Amino acid sequence: MSNKVSLLRNLIILIILGVLSVNNLAIASPEINPNRNFNFVAAGDWGCDKKAHETVANMQNKSPELVLALGDLSYQKGADCWFQMMSPLINKTKMVFGDHEYNFKNSSRLDEYLQKFNLTKQYYSFDYGNVHFLALSSEVSFDKESKQYTFVTEDLKSASENKSINWIVAYIYEMLYTSPTFHKPTDTIRDIYHPIFDKYNVDLVLQAHSHNYQRTYPIKYNDKDSSHPIISDKNEGEYTNPDGTIFAVIGTAGADLHNFTGQAPYVVKQFQRFGFLDVNITSGGKIMKGTFYENRDGTDKDHFTITK
């Protein structure tokens, strides 16, 4: 009897360790059917005031299965106000870390978020349906000698070879590309990671940091002048298996909006509005449709469709 008890105990320990590994490294989809339809929503630069509460309520109305929080969550010394505001959606939420998760009002909230989202590090990945999601961190080392770089390259290689994966979505706080506005792009991240995104056919990159909305054409990395990427498809919103990645800035969750001083030639749509991006995977996982909904009246301010 004691041997059976010992075997059972060891089995339970192995199961627990396996679950912890999944939660901390690569969160697997609860749905094993890669052809299922589902939707996810995304926005960054939140705060806890009225505008952010409106974003949460409007996201709820879309009944998302996933919520991507793109950094700069609470602008207070603690994270409690954001956790409370997000309580209807928090169990569906995956985050990336912005600069205000570190040093705002002389307070770091890093450990609060790591614990809340059961993370051991700031970069991770997971599959949901036939979409592979990659969360990168602009706030820790990301150069070619870093652990993050090794993780990202190995992760995207694996995802690109997985026949059950039809889409790859990456999300990060700082911007690789942007029109002229309050914050400049982080060209060091762009020069390291956009060529990798090209290599492994990343479909969509979601960013924040600037408090406005922007969407690019499908673009490829330009190694002669990376600030002027190669536009691979000049359609404004309908794409069929484009040879390039769409980059979107969605710093529109609630923090005060940032003005534009121009429009980059690779940016097809930009505006100052509070709201969020709602992305629907439809037609048995073969179509991705993204729609930006404005908080003020729930209108569709921008949309794009990718078909594979």
Give the C-alpha separation, 143 to 126, whole Å: 22
The two structure tokens encoding residue 55: 């974003």
pLDDT tens digits in sequence order for the chain, 308 residues long: 444 444 445 444 444 444 333 333 334 444 456 788 999 999 999 999 999 999 999 999 999 999 999 999 988 878 899 999 999 999 999 999 988 776 655 446 788 889 999 999 999 999 999 999 999 999 888 999 999 999 999 999 999 999 999 999 999 999 999 999 999 999 999 999 999 999 999 999 999 999 999 999 999 999 999 999 999 999 999 999 999 999 999 999 999 999 999 999 999 999 999 999 999 999 999 999 999 999 999 999 999 999 99
Side-chain-facing half-sphere of 89: CA atoms under 13 Å: 25
By the 8 A CB rule, do 290 and 304 touch? yes
Order of all β-strands in the sheet with 246-250: 26-27, 124-128, 131-135, 167-171, 204-207, 246-250, 213-216, 267-271
By the 8 A CB rule, do 127 and 32 touch? no
Domains and CATH numbers, the chain: 38-307 (3.60.21.10)
Give the C-alpha separation, 93 to 81, whole Å: 16
Give the C-alpha separation, 259 to 279, whole Å: 25
